[in-house]
Amino acid sequence: MHRISFACILILIGVLVVAPCECAFAGGGEQVEGVRLEVGTEARKDLSLTVYNSDLALVRDTRIIQFSRGLNLVELSGLAANMDPTSISFTSLTGPGDLKTIEHNFDYSVVSRQTLLQKYIGEEIWLIVDGIRMPARLISVDGQGRLIVDLDGRIVLDPPGSIELPPLPSGFLTRPTLIWHAKAEWTRGHEVEIAYLTTGLNWSADYVCILDDTDESCALTGWVTLNNKSGTTYRDAKLKLIAGSIHTLPVTPPVRDAVKTMMVSEELAGTGMMLEEKPGFEYHTYTLSGTTTVANNQLKQIQLLTAPHVQPKKLYFLEKPTSRYMYESSLSPGQSETISAKTVLEFRNDEESGLGMPLPQGRVRVYKALSDGSMDFIGEDSISHTPRDEVVRLYIGDTFDVVGERIVTDFKIADKSREEAYCIKVRNRKDEEIDVAVVEKLYGDWTISSPVPYEKRDANTAVFEVNVPSNSEVEILFRVHTKFK
């Protein structure tokens, strides 16, 4: 009986000695016992991107993971290199109560000559010079990858030849990887959603407006330009874009290795996929009807809207960039200046114009279709977030044939007051009559006397609207009286 017990003890000890110990290294750091699982994008079931126009995106990545009972060390690859690890959440859609997160670590370093060699400091490597393979011990490596080695008891700085390394150390990560320490109650498969915020994903709106040869109609096309520099590719992703200004706190990003940027333009026109707009909270969302692949270091364009028959109005404004009232002391009677009128296209964002949807902020490029079939670029402007039924105004450029001459006819300063008189000559050298709005900026407690009607738009703006026949000139006379306190 003693012999049987002793034999059993020997067998048990043998089993304990030879039984494999499942373990993992969290990013090459301290060894942690547990079942090691490598989960890449091949385990992905679903992927959703919500991209904001402020260099921010919410990624929801659902993967199928087979857990063992106890501690599991899950190495998740294929995540954004620019992710914010403090924003991450793990949720089991299969059994939320069966998984418990112990900790998670994000190793965002990528393999380079320096990071690879640093893993072998103190280890034996091989130097190959003229076909001869010599063993050496690596002592150190600097920031440029230069070596110091021990070669048969001799210290050699920056040795010649090529370097041969042993196999990679266990747990060494060759790409940005999230290591999730999760404790499972049972051995079973889980559908897990990994959600996190990342920078490097941004979008903007770009519009193309083509005026016809009569300037009475234009075709407006809107595009969403999606820019991915987040450090990973999102394949077959559901895409949602958010237009609006969200509040975020400043974050100091960790220093990462520089990456080369490649720009690739890709369109989804003709695929049948469109962006559907819906309100959400205090913002507006634009959801792609299908799925799309957003490659790393890529610019992708998706059609947002098309309105082939927008009816714009062409407006002319004579306006100085700065005011000459109150703060200018060099004015004198007879002083004059000539300025060109600004050309503005105006239309309403409504259904009558073929629009009627919230327009995200972006750049509008305007082209002019000519009667001979050619086309000219005539200017561009930007618009802010524009709700439906609001007016859109595009400053295209300065008009060549409409100018204004501004003449100081009188100027005097009295006790606690100031008085200025002006004559503005509006000249139209076109072969058609036009309406011109003359905008004057004023400050302080001011009043205007003039035979020409004007509108006080606000506390600092007076506007004279005049009709100017073709090849004619119209004069606007007015006097400004400003009181001082």
Indicate the fold that domain 314-347+396-483 takes in CATH: Immunoglobulin-like (2.60.40)
* Cα diameter, the chain: 127
Position with higher pLDDT, 87 vs 253: 87
Q: Burial letters for 101-140: b for 16+ Cβ neighbours within 10 Å, e otherwise?
A: eeebebbbbeeeeebbbebbeeeebebeeeeeeeebebee
Across 200-218, average pLDDT? 91
Can you tell me the distance from the alpha carbon of 184 to that of 104, in angstroms, rounded to the nearest whole number?
A: 15
How many residues in the chain? Answer: 485
> CB under 8 Å to 276, separation ≥6 — which residues?
286, 287, 288, 289
Q: Which residue has the higher pLDDT, 484 or 344?
A: 344
Per DSSP, which regions of 78-187 are E strands?
89-92, 99-107, 124-129, 132-141, 147-151, 154-157, 162-164, 177-184
Give me the residue spans of the domains in the chain. Answer: 23-46+60-109+174-198, 113-164, 314-347+396-483
pLDDT of residue 108: 59
Write out pLDDT tens, residues 441-485: 888 889 999 999 999 999 889 999 999 999 999 999 999 998 877
| Both structure tokens of 293 | 């692949």
Q: Compute the mean pLDDT over every residue in the chain, rounded to the nearest whole number.
A: 81
pLDDT at 264 exceeding the cut of 80 = no
Least confident of 11-20, 288-297, 424-433: 11-20
pLDDT exceeds 70 at position 4: no
**Most confidently modeled range among 25-34, 246-255, 336-345:** 336-345
- The CATH number given to 113-164 is 2.30.30.100
Q: Kindly tell me if the per-residue pLDDT of 12 is higher than 50.
A: no
Q: Say what the pTM is.
A: 0.67
Average pLDDT on 120-129 reads 87
The pLDDT value recorded for residue 350 is: 92
Is 82 strand, coil or helix?
Answer: coil
What type of residue sits at position 424?
A: I
Confidence of residue 104 (pLDDT cuts 50, 70, 90): confident
Let me know if the fold of 113-164 is the same as that of 314-347+396-483: no
Q: How far apart are CA 147 and CA 113, in angstroms?
A: 11
Q: Pick the residue with more confidence: 324 or 480?
A: 480
Nearest residue to 222 (alpha-carbon basis) of 243, 208, 202, 201: 208
Contact between 49 and 63 under an 8 Å Cβ cutoff? The reply is no
The tens digit of pLDDT for each residue in 165-180 reads: 887 665 555 567 888 9
